[in-house]
C-alpha cells in the first residue's frame, strides 16, 4: 500500500508531528521529541536560550558557550502515558447526527532516554567548546488494540461475542547523535555573543505491524469448511541521514537574552521492506504483496527564535518565550507554514526551590489517502491533509542534590481532538464474503450494515498524554 | 582644639563609613573584594539584580549561601543605602493593583470597558474639572455622588486631596471609596508620558451549548418519514461534520494600545475566532481589514471657555448615550444592565478594541462638551454580515424598488414573477426590470466565520441532499443563509446635550443607518413560517410559539413605505433631587410615522430612580420596548435577549438553515418587555448585609407572558474573616390565557461560606439547590393514551443541585493561583458558574475543575495560564432502533444509549505587557 505510492506521496510522508506524544496517528510519521531538558520541559519547552543545563546544547548549539561553565553532563528520561479514544458518529431516531460515542480506548506507556556532555574553555574574551549529545529525535512506538464484537447479549448484562482482534504495533526510534561546537565572545559582564554549529547523525530502525486476527469463537461459528482470512501488514525500515543546525545566542544585558536556531530542510533515506498478506478464503486466493521501500523522508526547515528575560522579582524569576516557524510548504504545497508558540516561567518560591510553569501550542500535519474515482470514473487517490493543534501545559521543579548536581522534574499534559479515518474498515468483518452465505453467521443482528466508513463519517479521536521528564545535570 | 578633635573624629568615621561597601550600589568587582567567596559575591550581586534591592543588611540571610557567620563577618564592612525605585507608573500600578485585578475579572462581562477604566485608573482625571457624565461613566459612582462633588466645584471650591473628597457633603462612603482611585486633585500620580499595553491571548474554547446543538443539526431529506426511503447517516450533512468542528481551533487575540497621557491614543487589535484565518494564513490586506484600530485625540482643557473638552476619534469607536435605547453599540448582550454599580455605561465616545465585530462603528467621531452643553457627531462605514435570501445556487436574491424579487435569466436579463408566476421583463413604464440591491432578512452575528465562497460550497453540498425529494414541501433548498460583509452600512448620528442645572441634563440622540445596497425584507406573521421552516409539517405545531418577534424585525420595504435606511430618534435626561437621581430615555424607530412626531412609531422608554442613603439604596426602573422597536444598536435594560423562546431557539431542527438560530444565540438586543424592576442593598451593620436584592415584574410583549423574578441575598459576617451567604431566587412565568401553556416556577437556594485567609488567600464553599416546575410540552407530545406517549415529555418537576469549592492562594505578590472544583446534577436545569474572568453554563450532570495561575513576571509583564477540564454527560439520545430488548417488560422497545459523556479541556494563555 504505502510502498506503492508515487514519489509525490513519498515526499508527503513527513515527520511532521512536534508533539512529545506516542500517538497512533503518528505511528508512521513518528513523534518528534522536543527538549529532553527536564527544566525546559517544565517551562513549556521554551529552551532556545538555555544557560542552565547541559541539555541546552541539543536545543541550540550556541547554548554551549552561553553556559559559561567548564564542563557538564546530563542524563534524562521521559515517560509518557498516552490515551487514545476513538469515537464513532451516532445518529438519533430522526437520522440526525447527534454526537460521537467512544468505541475504542487504548492507554499505553512509553519511555525514552538521552544524554549530553560538553567541555568548554575560556580564551581571553573568547570561549570555545565542544559537546556531544544523544537523544531520540523521533519515536515510532505505538500500540493499538481494538476488539470487534457483535451486539448479542448486551441487553442482559452479558458480553457480546468477540469476532476479531485488531492490532497495530510499532516500535523504533530515530536517534540523533549530535556533535556540537560553539564559540563565545564576551564583551563585558552582561554582554556576550555565542555562535554554535551542530552536525547530527540520524539513525533509526522501525518495525511495525498491522494485523486482524479472528477469534476462536468466530472460527468455530463459521465452521472448519470455511476459512476466515487473517490479515498481516508489516513495514520494517531503516532511516539514515544527517542534519545541520546553526545556532546563535546572546546575552544582551543583565536581564535580557535572545537566541535563534536554524535547521535547513533535511532529507533522510528510508529503506526497508513492506509485506501485505491476506489469507485465502472460499473463492479468493491468498494475497501476498511484498515490496522494497526506498524513499526520501523529509524533515522541513525550522527557524526558532527565543528570548530569556530575568527581571527583578521577589521570587527570582526567569521567563522564556520561543516562536518557531516551520516551513511545511517545503514538503508540499498542500501544507501551510506554521507558527508554534512556547512559553514558560520559573519562579523560585522559597529556598531556591523553583516552580516552573509553561504552555505551548504546536501545529502539525498528518495526512491520509483514500481511493476514489474522478469525473471519468478513473481510480484516483485522494489526499487529505489535516492540521492538528496540540496545546500543552507543563509544570516542574528541581532539587539541588549537591553543589553542582541538580535533579530536575518536569510534567506535561497535552490533548488534541481531530477527525481521522477508521483504522480498520468494517467491511472486512462481513463473514458473508468469506462463507458465500446470504446470511451472517457472526452477526445475529441482520440489520447491521458492514460498510467501510469514509470521510463522510470519520472517527473522532481524542488523545491526551501525561508525561514526566526527569533529568540529572552536572555542571562544573 | 576640642572642636578640632570632634571634627577629626567625625571625619574619621565618615571616612570609615565611605570605605564600606554599599550593597545597593557596589559593582560585582567591589563585592568580590569582600572577604567572601567569589560565588557568594555573585550571589549577593544576583540577589540585588534579580530579587530585590537590599532594605537592610539582614536581607543577606535570605541568600542561601550566606550564613550567620558570614553575615557577622560582613557586618562591619558593608552598608545599605536607602534606594527607592521611583518609576511612577510601577508605583501607581502597585497602588491600584486590586482594582486592576477586579476590572480584569469583569472584562468578560463589560467587554472593552475595562480598558477605558484601566486608563482612568492609571492616569486619573482631575476631580475638580470633571463633569456629570464623567462621574456617571465610572464604576459604582452614582448621580447623587456626582452632584455632591459638582456642587462644591461649581462654587469655586477646590478639592485638595482624598481626605477633602471624603468630607464632601452628600458624597456617600461607597461613592467615595469607589471614586478615589479614578481621580486626582492637584498633581496627577502619573505625569503625561507614553504608556502602552500589549496583549496576546490564546484561547482554545469550545462552542457553547446552543451553538453546539445548532451546528449539529443535519440537513435531511424532507421525505425521511416516507417508507422505503433510505436516509443516509452522514456526519457531514451538518455544519459540524462538514467543517470538521471536532478539531481544536483557538481564538487568538492580539492587541496593542498606545497613549500619551489622556491626550493622544492609538490602538490596534486583531481577533481571529473560529473559522477565521489565522495570522499566518491571512494576507496583509485582509489582516488590516479584519483588525480594529483607532487613533484619537482628547483635550480636557480646550480654550473654549470654562472646562471645555474635545474628543476626536478615527477608526473604531464606541458611542453610548442615555440608557442605551438609541445607541450603545456592542455585540454582547448583558441582562439587567441597570447603569448602576458595575453594570455601567461609559457615556459618549470611547475608543473601541473590544471583540465586537458586527455592531462596531468605524469612521470618525467628535465630541465637544463643556459643563453646560455637549455636541457629538459620528459617522461610520463598515461592511456587515447579514442573513440573505438566496437561490438554490446560493446567489443572493435581488430586490427592486417596487417590492419585487428579481431574478436573472440565462441571457442576463432581469425579471420578476407576477401573481401567476410568469416572468415579467419590463415595468409598466416600459423600462427594463432592474435591481441591484440584495434582499436581506436581518443583521447577524455569525457563530462560524467562514468566507462566503466556503459557506456556499457547504450549502451546495447540503442542498444536494435536500433536493433528493419528490414531495412538494415548501423549501427543498437553503433559502436563507449568512453572508459575510454583504451589507455596506453607512451610519451617521448625533447627540446634543444641555445641562441647564447642576446634575440635570437633557439630551437628544439620533442615528440613521443607510443601506444603499440592500433591502431588509421580513415577512408578516402569516407568511413567515414558509420562509423560515423547512417543512410544512411543522407549520401548525409551531404557530403556537411566539414568532411575532421575528415577523416584527425591521423591514425597509412594507406596504406603507419604501426606504433605504433605518432611523432611531430619542431623548434622554437626568436630574438629581436631594438624594435621588432620576434618569430616563425615550426612543422611537421611524416606521410609518413622522420622524419628528412623537408617539406614532414603535417606541421604547425607560425611567429609573436611584435613591441613596449611607448604607442603603433603592433603584426603581420602569421599561417598555415595543415589539417592533428593532434597533440593533440598542443595549438597554431587559431580562432576556431578543428572539428568545421563538422557533430560532426552540426549533432549530425545523429551520431551513439551522444557522438562522444565530439570530437568537448571538443576539445583542433586548427582548420587547414591559415591566418594573426594584433593587436594593442594605448594610445593617458590620455583621449583617442584605446584598443586592431585586424584584422584577414584567410582561413579554410578544405573547403576553408575565413573569415575576425575585432574588435576595443575606450575608452574615460574624468575624471579619468569615462570611456566610444565603441567596434565594424565585421566578414564576405565567400566561393569562386558557391555552395549554401554563405556569412554570423556578426556585434556587444557594448557601456559601467564605473565609478570607491571611495574605489575601480565599476559600469558599458553595452549595446550590434548584427546583423547576414546568408544564409538559403538550404540543410536542402525542395523546396520553396508553401506549401512545412514545415521545419524551418534559418533566413536570425538575430538581438540580451544585456543590463547589473555590480557592485562591497568593504565593507572593508575583504568583497567584486560583482554582475551583465543582460538581452539578442539573436534570435539565442549567447551572452557571462565575470563573476567574468568565461565566460558564452547565447543563445536565458533570464536574469541572479549573486552575488559573497569574504570574507577574516583572513590574510590567504578566502571564496568565488557565486550564479547565469539564466532564459532563449530555442529554439522553435514542441511538439505534435495531438494538431490540429481550427484557420481558421492555420487549421490542428500543434500547437507549443512556448518556454520552463529553470531556472538554480548555486552555487560555495570555501575556500582557503594560508600560
Q: What is the dihedral of CA A212, A216, A220, A222, to 10 degrees?
A: -20
Task: Pick A345's closest partner by Cβ from B246, B863, B874.
Answer: B863
- Closest to B74 measured CA to CA, from B28, B47, B36: B36
CATH architecture of the domain formed by A2-475: Beta Barrel (2.40)
Backbone Cα Rg of chain B: 32
What local confidence, expressed as pLDDT, does residue A19 receive?
Answer: 31
Tell me the β-bridge partners of B687: none
Cα distance between the two ends of chain A = 53
> What pLDDT was estimated at residue B749?
96
Q: What's the N-to-C CA distance of chain B in angstroms?
A: 59
pLDDT at A155: 65
Report the DSSP pairing between strands A379-400 and B348-351: unpaired
Instruction: Please judge whether A355 and B883 are an interchain contact, meaning their C-beta atoms are less than 8 angstroms apart.
Output: no
Split at pLDDT 50, 70, 90, the class of B891 is very low
Q: Could you tell me if A448 lies within 8 Å of chain B, comparing CB atoms?
A: yes
Query: Nearest CA of chain A to the CA of B318: how many Å?
Result: 33
Cα B872 from Cα B830, distance rounded (Å): 13
In this predicted model, which residue has the larger pLDDT, B910 or B306?
Answer: B910
pLDDT in tens, B663-687: 999 999 999 999 999 999 999 999 9
Q: What would the mean pLDDT of A470-475 be, rounded to a whole number?
A: 94
**What's the half-sphere exposure (Cβ side, CA atoms, 13 Å) at B537?**
16
At CA B869, angle to CA B865 and CA B875, rounded to 5? 145
| Contact across the interface for A391 and B248, Cβ inside 8 Å | yes
Q: Which of B284, B297, B272, B290 is nearest to B204 (CA)?
A: B272
Contact of B141 with B120, CB cutoff 8 Å:
no
Nine cell digits for residue B221 = 431529506
Average per-residue pLDDT for chain B = 86
Give B-chain residues touching A394 at CB under 8 angstroms: none
ipTM summary value: 0.88
Q: Is the pLDDT of residue A123 over 60?
A: yes
Q: How confident is the model over B379-384, as a mean pLDDT?
A: 96
Which pLDDT score is estimated for B737?
63
Q: How far is A393 from chain B (nearest CA, A)?
A: 8
Residues of B in contact with A100 (CB under 8 A): 246, 900
Question: pLDDT tens across B856-890, in order?
Answer: 998 889 999 999 999 987 654 333 333 334 444 44
- Which DSSP string do the residues of B678-746 spell out, in sequence order? EEEEEE-SSSEEEEEEEEEEEEETTTTEEEEEEEEEEEEEEETTEEEEEEEEEEEEE-SSSSS---EEE
Dihedral sign of CA atoms B350, B353, B358, B364 in order: positive
- The answer to which of A383-392, B82-91, B519-528 has the lowest mean pLDDT is B82-91
Under DSSP, is residue B78 helix (H, G, I), strand (E, B) or coil?
Answer: strand
- Residue A123: CA count within 13 A, CB half-sphere: 9
Q: Which three cell numbers stand for residue A461?
A: 479521536
Q: Looking at chain B, which residue has its C-alpha nearest residue A418? A: B247
Angle at alpha carbon of residue B620, lines to B614 and B623, rounded to 5°: 155
Write out pLDDT tens, residues A318-331. 999 999 999 988 87
Q: Using the beta-carbon criterion (under 8 Å), do B50 and A418 form an inter-chain contact? A: no
Q: Which of B585, B582, B560, B552 is nearest to B570 (CA)?
A: B585
Domains of chain B as residue ranges with CATH = 2-79 (1.10.150.320), 385-485+517-542 (no CATH), 757-915 (no CATH)
Q: How far is CA B340 from the centre of its chain?
A: 16
Q: Does A456 touch chain B (CB under 8 A)?
A: yes
Domain ranges across chain A: 2-475
Size of interface A-B (CB pairs under 8 A): 193
Name the DSSP letter for residue B207. P
The pLDDT of residue B485 is 93
- Cell numbers for B134: 464623567
Specify the DSSP class assigned to residue B395: P
Q: What does the pLDDT average to over B362-371? A: 95
User: Could you give the CA distance from residue B483 to residue B486 in angstroms, rounded to a whole number?
Assistant: 6
Read off the C-alpha cell for A56.
541546552
Q: Given the DSSP bridges, would you call strands A256-263 and B831-834 parallel, antiparallel or unpaired?
A: unpaired
Instruction: Report, as an integer, the average pLDDT of B412-440.
Output: 91
Mean pLDDT of B453-467: 90
Q: Which residue of A has its CA nearest to B222?
A: A94
Cα–Cα distance for residue pair A36/A340, rounded to 1 Å: 18
Given a contact cutoff of 8 angstroms between Cβ atoms, the answer to whether A455 and A421 are in contact is yes
Q: pLDDT tens, B47-73?
A: 998 888 898 889 898 888 889 999 999
Q: What is the pLDDT of residues B566-611, one digit of tens each?
A: 999 999 999 999 999 999 999 999 998 888 888 899 999 999 999 9
SS3 string of B417-431?
ECCCCCEECECCCCC
Cα of B612 vs its chain's centroid, Å: 28
Alpha-carbon distance B878 to nearest alpha carbon in chain A (angstroms): 5
Assess contact for A5 and A369: CB atoms under 8 A.
Answer: yes
Question: Given A151, A254, A357, which is nearest B865 (Cβ)?
Answer: A357
**CB of A385 less than 8 A from some CB of B:** no
Answer yes or no: do B865 and A462 touch at CB < 8 A.
Answer: no
Residues of chain B positioned with their CB less than 8 A from the CB of A343 = 863, 909, 911
CA distances from B181 to B100, B125, B133, B828 (A): 11, 10, 17, 44
B481: alpha, beta or left? (left if phi > 0; alpha if psi -120 to 50)? beta
Residues of B in contact with A449 (CB under 8 A): none
CB atoms within 10 A of CB B542: 18
Distance from the Cα of residue B315 to its chain's centroid: 21
When mean pLDDT is compared over B195-204, B645-654, B721-730, the highest value belongs to B721-730
Look at residue A8 and tell me whether its pLDDT is greater than 50: no
> What is the full DSSP assignment across B838-869?
SEEEE-SEEEEEEEEEEEE-SSSEEEEEEEEE
Residue pair A407/A399 in contact (Cβ under 8 Å)? The answer is: yes
Of A100-104, A160-164, B66-70, the one with minimum mean pLDDT is A100-104
> How is residue B914 written as a grid cell?
503594560
Q: Do B812 and A315 touch (CB under 8 A)?
A: yes
Dist CA A243 CA A262 (whole Å): 11
Nearest 5°: the CA angle B217, B220, B221 is: 165
Q: Do B234 and A97 touch (CB under 8 A)?
A: yes
Q: Measured between alpha carbons, how far is A19 from A26 in angstroms, rounded to an integer?
A: 9
Which of the residue ranges A230-244, B294-308, B311-325, B661-675 would you say has the lowest mean pLDDT? B294-308
| A240 φ, ψ (degrees, to nearest 5) | -140, 145
* Dihedral sign, Cα of residue B400, residue B403, residue B408, residue B411: negative
Residues of chain A with C-beta less than 8 angstroms from the C-beta of B238: 96-97
Interchain contact, B858 vs A460, CB within 8 Å: no
CB-CB under 8 Å, A96 with B217: yes
Contact A100 B50 (CB under 8 A): no
Among candidates A90, A387, A415 on the partner chain, residue whose Cβ is nearest the Cβ of B877 = A90
Choose, out of B246, B851, B883, the residue to mutate when testing the contact with A (most A CBs < 10 Å). B246
Mean per-residue pLDDT, B278-300: 82
Q: Which of B221, B233, B279 to mutate to test the interface with A (most CBs of A within 10 A)?
A: B233
Question: What whole-number distance in Å separates Cα of residue B495 and Cα of residue B585?
Answer: 13
Residue B137 in grid coordinates: 461613566
A390: closest chain B residue by CA: B248
User: Dihedral sign, CA of A446, A447, A448, A452?
Assistant: positive
Identify which has the larger pLDDT, A278 or A380. A278
Model confidence band, residue A29 (pLDDT cutoffs 50, 70, 90): low
Neighbour tally for B236: CB within 10 Å: 24
Please give, rounded to a whole number of angstroms, the shortest distance from the CA of B488 to a CA of chain A. 32
Amino acid at each position: 500500500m504505502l510502498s506503492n505510492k508515487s514519489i509525490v506521496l513519498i515526499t508527503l510522508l513527513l515527520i511532521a508531528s512536534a508533539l512529545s506524544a506516542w500517538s497512533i496517528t503518528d505511528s508512521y510519521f513518528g513523534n518528534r521529541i522536543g527538549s529532553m531538558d527536564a527544566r525546559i520541559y517544565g517551562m513549556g519547552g521554551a529552551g532556545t536560550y538555555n544557560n542552565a543545563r547541559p541539555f541546552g546544547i541539543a536545543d541550540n548549539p550556541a547554548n554551549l558557550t552561553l553556559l559559561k561553565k567548564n564542563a557538564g553532563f546530563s542524563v534524562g528520561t521521559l515517560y509518557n502515558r498516552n490515551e487514545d479514544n476513538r469515537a464513532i458518529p451516532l445518529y438519533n431516531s430522526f437520522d440526525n447526527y447527534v454526537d460521537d460515542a467512544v468505541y475504542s480506548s487504548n492507554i499505553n506507556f512509553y519511555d525514552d532516554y538521552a544524554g549530553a556532555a560538553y567541555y568548554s574553555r575560556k580564551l581571553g574574551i573568547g570561549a570555545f567548546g565542544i559537546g556531544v549529545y544523544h537523544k531520540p529525535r523521533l519515536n515510532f512506538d505505538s500500540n493499538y488494540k481494538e476488539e470487534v464484537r457483535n451486539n448479542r447479549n448486551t441487553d442482559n448484562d452479558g458480553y457480546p461475542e468477540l469476532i476479531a482482534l485488531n492490532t497495530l504495533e510499532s516500535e523504533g526510534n530515530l536517534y540523533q547523535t549530535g556533535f556540537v561546537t560553539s564559540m563565545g565572545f564576551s564583551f563585558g559582564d552582561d554582554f556576550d555573543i555565542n555562535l554554535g554549529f551542530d552536525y547530527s547523525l540520524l539513525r533509526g530502525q522501525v518495525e511495525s505491524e498491522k494485523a486482524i486476527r479472528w477469534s476462536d469463537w468466530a472460527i468455530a461459528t463459521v465452521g472448519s469448511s470455511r476459512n476466515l482470512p487473517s490479515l498481516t501488514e508489516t513495514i520494517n525500515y531503516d532511516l539514515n541521514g544527517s542534519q545541520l543546525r546553526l545556532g546563535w545566542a546572546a546575552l544582551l544585558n543583565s536581564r535580557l537574552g535572545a537566541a535563534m536556531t536554524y535547521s535547513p530542510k533535511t532529507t533522510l533515506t528510508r529503506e526497508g521492506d513492506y509485506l501485505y498478506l491476506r489469507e485465502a478464503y472460499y473463492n479468493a486466493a491468498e494475497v501476498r504483496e511484498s515490496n522494497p521501500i526506498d524513499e526520501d523522508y523529509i524533515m522541513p526547515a525550522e527557524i526558532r527564535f527565543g528570548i530569556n528575560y530575568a527581571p527583578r522579582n521577589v521570587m527570582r524569576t526567569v521567563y522564556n518565550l520561543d516562536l518557531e516557524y516551520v516551513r511545511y510548504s517545503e514538503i508540499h504545497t498542500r501544507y501551510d507554514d506554521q507558527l508554534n508558540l512556547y512559553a514558560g516561567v520559573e519562579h523560585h518560591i522559597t529556598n531556591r526551590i523553583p516552580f516552573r510553569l509553561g504552555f505551548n501550542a504546536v501545529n502539525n500535519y498528518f495526512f491520509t489517502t483514500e481511493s476514489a474515482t474522478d469525473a471519468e470514473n478513473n481510480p484516483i487517490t485522494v489526499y487529505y491533509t489535516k492540521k492538528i493543534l496540540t496545546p500543552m501545559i507543563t509544570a516542574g521543579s528541581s532539587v539541588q542534590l549537591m553543589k553542582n548536581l541538580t535533579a530536575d522534574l518536569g510534567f506535561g499534559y497535552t490533548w488534541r481532538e481531530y477527525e481521522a479515518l477508521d483504522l480498520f474498515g468494517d467491511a472486512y468483518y462481513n463473514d458473508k464474503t468469506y462463507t458465500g452465505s446470504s446470511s451472517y453467521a457472526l452477526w445475529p443482528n441482520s440489520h447491521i450494515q458492514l460498510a467501510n466508513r469514509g470521510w463522510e463519517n470519520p472517527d473522532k479521536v481524542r488523545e491526551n498524554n501525561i508525561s514526566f521528564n526527569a533529568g540529572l545535570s552536572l555542571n562544573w | 582644639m576640642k572642636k578640632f578633635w570632634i571634627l577629626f573624629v567625625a571625619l574619621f568615621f565618615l571616612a570609615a563609613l565611605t570605605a564600606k561597601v554599599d550593597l545597593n550600589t557596589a559593582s560585582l568587582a567591589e563585592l568580590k573584594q569582600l572577604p567572601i567567596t567569589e560565588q557568594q559575591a555573585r550571589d549577593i550581586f544576583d540577589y540585588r539584580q534579580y530579587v530585590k534591592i537590599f532594605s537592610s543588611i539582614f536581607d543577606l540571610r535570605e541568600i542561601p549561601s550566606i550564613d550567620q557567620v558570614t553575615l557577622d563577618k560582613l557586618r562591619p564592612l558593608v552598608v545599605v543605602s536607602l534606594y527607592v525605585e521611583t518609576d511612577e507608573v510601577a508605583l501607581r500600578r502597585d497602588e491600584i493593583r486590586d482594582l486592576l485585578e477586579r476590572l480584569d475579572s469583569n472584562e468578560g462581562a463589560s467587554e472593552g470597558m475595562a480598558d477605558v477604566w484601566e486608563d482612568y485608573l492609571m492616569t486619573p482625571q482631575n476631580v475638580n474639572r470633571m463633569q456629570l457624565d464623567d462621574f456617571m461613566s465610572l464604576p459604582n459612582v452614582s448621580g447623587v455622588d456626582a452632584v455632591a462633588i459638582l456642587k462644591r466645584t461649581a462654587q469655586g471650591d477646590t478639592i485638595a486631596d482624598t481626605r477633602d473628597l471624603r468630607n464632601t457633603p452628600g458624597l456617600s462612603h461607597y461613592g467615595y471609596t469607589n471614586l478615589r482611585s479614578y481621580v486626582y486633585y492637584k498633581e496627577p500620580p502619573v505625569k503625561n508620558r507614553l504608556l502602552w499595553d500589549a496583549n496576546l491571548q490564546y484561547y482554545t474554547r469550545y462552542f457553547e451549548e446552543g451553538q453546539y446543538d445548532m451546528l449539529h443539526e443535519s440537513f435531511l431529506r424532507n421525505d425521511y418519514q416516507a417508507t422505503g426511503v433510505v436516509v443516509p447517516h452522514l456526519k457531514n450533512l451538518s455544519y459540524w461534520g462538514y467543517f470538521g468542528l471536532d478539531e481544536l481551533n483557538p481564538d487568538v487575540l492580539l492587541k496593542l494600545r498606545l497613549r500619551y497621557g489622556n491626550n493622544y491614543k492609538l490602538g490596534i487589535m486583531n481577533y481571529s475566532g473560529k473559522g477565521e484565518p489565522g495570522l499566518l494564513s491571512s494576507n496583509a490586506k485582509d489582516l488590516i481589514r479584519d483588525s480594529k484600530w483607532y487613533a484619537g485625540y482628547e483635550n480636557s482643557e480646550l480654550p473654549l471657555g470654562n472646562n471645555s473638552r474635545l474628543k476626536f476619534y478615527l477608526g473604531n469607536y464606541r458611542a453610548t448615550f442615555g440608557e442605551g435605547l438609541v445607541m450603545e453599540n456592542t455585540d454582547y448582550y448583558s441582562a439587567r444592565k441597570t447603569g448602576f454599580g458595575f453594570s455601567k455605561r461609559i457615556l459618549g465616545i470611547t475608543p473601541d478594541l473590544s471583540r465586537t465585530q458586527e455592531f462596531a462603528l468605524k469612521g470618525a467621531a467628535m465630541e465637544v462638551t463643556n459643563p453646560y452643553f455637549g455636541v457629538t457627531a459620528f459617522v461610520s462605514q463598515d461592511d456587515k454580515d447579514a442573513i440573505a435570501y438566496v437561490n438554490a445556487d446560493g446567489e443572493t436574491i435581488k430586490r427592486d424598488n417596487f417590492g419585487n424579487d428579481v431574478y436573472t435569466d440565462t441571457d442576463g436579463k432581469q425579471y420578476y414573477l407576477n401573481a401567476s408566476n410568469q416572468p415579467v421583463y419590463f415595468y409598466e413604464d416600459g423600462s427594463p426590470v432592474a435591481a441591484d440591491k440584495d434582499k436581506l432578512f436581518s443583521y447577524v452575528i455569525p457563530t462560524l466565520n467562514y468566507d462566503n465562497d466556503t459557506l456556499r460550497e457547504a450549502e451546495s453540498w447540503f442542498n444536494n441532499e435536500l433536493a433528493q425529494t419528490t414531495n412538494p414541501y415548501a423549501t427543498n433548498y437553503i433559502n436563507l443563509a449568512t453572508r459575510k460583509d454583504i451589507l455596506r452600512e453607512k451610519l451617521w448620528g448625533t447627540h446634543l446635550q444641555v445641562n441647564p442645572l447642576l446634575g440635570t441634563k437633557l439630551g437628544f440622540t439620533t442615528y440613521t443607518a443607510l443601506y444603499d445596497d440592500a433591502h431588509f425584507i421580513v415577512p408578516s406573521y402569516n407568511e413567515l413560517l414558509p420562509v423560515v421552516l423547512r417543512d410544512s409539517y411543522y407549520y401548525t405545531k409551531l404557530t403556537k410559539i411566539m414568532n411575532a418577534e421575528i415577523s416584527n424585525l425591521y423591514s425597509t420595504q412594507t406596504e406603507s413605505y419604501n426606504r433605504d435606511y433605518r432611523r432611531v430618534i430619542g431623548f434622554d435626561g437626568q436630574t438629581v433631587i436631594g438624594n435621588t437621581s432620576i434618569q430616563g430615555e425615550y426612543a422611537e424607530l421611524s416606521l410609518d410615522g413622522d420622524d419628528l412626531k412623537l408617539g406614532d412609531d414603535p417606541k421604547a422608554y425607560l425611567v429609573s430612580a436611584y435613591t441613596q442613603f449611607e448604607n442603603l439604596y433603592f433603584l426603581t426602573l420602569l421599561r417598555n420596548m415595543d415589539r417592533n422597536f428593532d434597533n440593533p444598536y440598542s443595549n438597554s435594560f431587559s431580562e432576556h435577549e431578543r428572539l428568545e423562546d421563538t422557533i430560532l431557539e426552540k426549533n432549530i431542527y425545523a429551520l431551513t438553515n439551522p444557522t438562522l438560530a444565530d439570530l437568537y444565540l448571538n443576539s445583542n438586543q433586548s427582548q420587547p418587555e414591559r415591566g418594573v424592576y426594584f433593587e436594593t442593598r442594605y448594610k445593617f451593620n458590620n455583621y449583617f448585609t442584605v446584598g443586592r436584592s431585586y424584584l422584577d415584574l414584567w410582561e413579554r410583549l410578544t405573547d403576553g407572558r408575565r413573569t415575576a423574578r425575585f432574588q435576595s441575598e443575606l450575608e452574615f459576617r460574624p468575624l471579619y474573616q468569615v462570611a456566610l451567604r444565603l441567596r434565594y431566587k424565585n421566578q414564576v412565568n405565567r400566561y393569562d390565557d386558557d391555552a395549554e401553556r401554563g405556569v412554570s416556577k423556578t426556585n434556587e437556594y444557594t448557601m456559601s461560606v467564605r473565609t478570607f485567609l491571611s495574605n489575601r488567600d480565599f476559600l469558599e464553599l458553595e452549595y446550590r439547590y434548584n427546583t423547576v416546575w414546568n408544564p409538559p410540552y403538550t404540543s410536542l407530545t402525542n395523546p396520553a393514551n396508553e401506549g401512545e406517549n412514545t415521545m419524551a415529555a418534559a418533566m413536570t418537576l425538575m430538581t438540580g443541585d451544585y456543590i463547589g469549592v473555590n480557592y485562591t492562594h497568593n504565593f507572593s505578590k508575583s504568583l497567584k493561583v486560583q482554582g475551583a472544583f465543582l460538581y452539578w446534577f442539573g436534570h435539565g436545569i442549567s447551572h452557571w458558574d462565575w470563573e476567574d474572568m468568565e461565566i460558564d453554563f452547565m447543563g445536565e450532570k458533570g464536574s469541572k475543575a479549573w486552575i488559573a495561575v497569574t504570574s507577574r513576571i516583572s513590574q510590567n509583564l504578566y502571564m496568565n495560564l488557565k486550564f479547565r477540564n469539564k466532564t459532563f454527560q449530555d442529554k439522553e439520545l435514542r441511538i439505534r432502533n435495531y438494538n431490540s430488548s429481550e427484557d420481558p417488560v421492555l420487549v421490542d422497545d428500543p434500547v437507549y444509549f443512556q448518556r454520552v459523556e463529553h470531556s472538554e479541556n480548555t486552555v487560555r494563555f495570555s501575556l500582557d505587557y503594560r508600560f
